[in-house]
Amino acid sequence: MNIENIEAFVYVNHYGSFNKAAEVLFLSQPSVTARIQTLERELDCKLFDRLGKQIALTEKGKQFLPYAQQIMQTFQKGKLHMQQRKTIPHELRIGATVSVSNYLIPSLLPRLKQRFPEIHIKLTTAGTDDLVNKLMGKEVDLAFVRKVAHPTLISYKFFEDPIKLYVYEGHPFTRKAAVPIEEISGQPLVFFECGSLDWMRVHRVFDSLDRQPNIEYLVDNSESAKKLVLERAGICFLPGLCVEEEVRGQRLFPIEFEEMNGITLQTNLITRGGEHSLFAESLLEIGRTLFG
């Protein structure tokens, strides 16, 4: 089956005229008619009823139309994809926050490289504000950042990481079936403050307590916070990705609180307008496969 015949069918239906379809397709009216006739022979059915100068889809034509439209959409998408591949840059510059660089990038980049073996990837690690500025200044091509709103950037939700309280092995909380959140106030706390809006929700949980938590260490790096907990210096609210290995090894333990349900650390993928959409779409697809 010839794609050009299907294209002619979709255009004739859209414009309601063989002449108009021929004009848009830069063909003669007899050429369009011939394509429709060829398609009708291939399908062994009549697609249009011709009533003078008016045309209308037959019942068989109505049944075939959604399939024809889907074929054309798939063809156009594939064509665009191949055209984009012709202009793939030699180097792709990716920006990422520290946690993304540490815990997501090692899984993402090899899979991206498999899809685009010809590109070289340059990774820049920085804070969200710096990465937004680098993207606007065309120092990076796309970036993984905390949740941001910017009028000239396109932002895609990439990953949501649940924030929970983690304690060390042997901590009294691990011996309780349920821990009231008020008991946090009696414990030395390591607080990882990454400066994103997501952490404001954790602060609001604290505000609901009669007695404020005893924050003995305030750090801006999840690895430092995690190691302080491992050293039994305190307990800490952390995103799940950074403690996966320690939880599997039963060196750290999550404590569940109803008040913390739904609080996550959101990572977004941002681009300048539609630039590098091929890579953005690939990363989003890889992310869905890896992280759900």
pTM: 0.64
Assess whether 155 and 170 both reside in one domain: no
> What residues have CB less than 8 Å from 20, skipping those under 6 apart?
none
- Listing DSSP states for 214-228 in one string gives EEEEEES-HHHHHHH
Tokens of 54: 């008016």
For residues 119-148, average pLDDT? 92
Total domains in the fold of the chain = 3
Judged against a pLDDT cut of 80, whether residue 62 lies above it is answered with: yes
Range 192-208 average pLDDT: 70
Each residue of 202-232: pLDDT tens digit?
A: 777 877 788 888 889 988 888 999 999 999 9
Query: Which helix or strand (DSSP H or E) is residue 108 part of?
Result: helix 105-115
With contact defined as beta carbons under 8 Å apart, do 179 and 173 qualify?
A: yes
Same structural domain, 41 and 116: no
pLDDT digits (tens, 9 = 90+) for 22-40: 888 888 999 999 999 999 9
Domain assignment of residue 125, given as a range: 91-159+266-291
CATH code, domain carrying 76: 1.10.10.10
Beta bridge partners of 160: 266
Distance of CA 288 to the CA centre of its chain: 7
Q: Is residue 163 a contact partner of residue 193, using CB atoms and an 8 Å limit? A: no
pLDDT for position 196: 54
Mean pLDDT on 137-150: 88
Q: What is the pLDDT of residue 195?
A: 56
Give me the chain's average pLDDT, please: 87
Percentage of the chain surpassing pLDDT 70?
93
